[in-house]
Structures are given as C-alpha cells and as structure tokens.
Amino acid sequence: MAIARSRRAGLPRAANARDRLEYRLLVALSFVLCLGVAAVRRLLSGGRAAEGSGRQSVIAEARSAAHAAVGYAFIA
C-alpha cells in the first residue's frame, strides 16, 4: 500500500513553500486580468452569464478562469 506524501521527493520544504507562493501570486495576477475580461464580457452581453457557466457571479467566473489558466503554467 502506497502512502501519498505532500512534498515532492527530493525537494526541501523551502522550495515547496516557494512553489506555493509562486502559484498564489500567479493566481492573483491572473484573477485581476480575468476579472476585467469577465466584467467587460458581462457588460457587452447585457448582464447575462457566459454560455455553459450556469449562473456564476463575475467574481466566481474570474476565479475559475484564473485557476484554469495558471494550472497550465505548472504543467510545463
């Protein structure tokens, strides 16, 4: 039976903490950009939510887009 570990093998805790900080900073930057895009898109569409997004708020839509975009940055 394998035990999942929270740290990546061979990386010290400081490097893991830097990765978390870097991720949070990228999410924050992406959130600001996505919030602007989502707000403009909502204004141009007459207040309707984006197609397929359900009934999310502008903030929830921007947060979701930011997390999706930053996830791709850590794949590479």
Query: What's the mean pLDDT when you consider all of the chain?
Result: 82
pLDDT digits (tens, 9 = 90+) for 36-62: 999 999 899 887 665 665 678 899 999
Query: What does the domain layout of the chain look like in residue ranges?
Result: 13-73
Q: Which residue has the tokens 């061979």?
A: 10
Say if residues 47 and 55 touch (Cβ distance below 8 Å): no
pLDDT of amino acid 74: 72
H or E element, residue 41: helix 13-44
The C-alpha atoms of residue 76 and residue 74 are separated, in whole angstroms, by 5
Mean pLDDT for the stretch of residues 6-22: 74
| Overall pTM > 0.75 | no
- Dihedral sign for Cα atoms in the order 68, 72, 73, 74: positive
Asked if pLDDT for residue 31 goes beyond 90, the answer is yes
Lowest-pLDDT choice from 9-13, 28-32, 57-61? 9-13
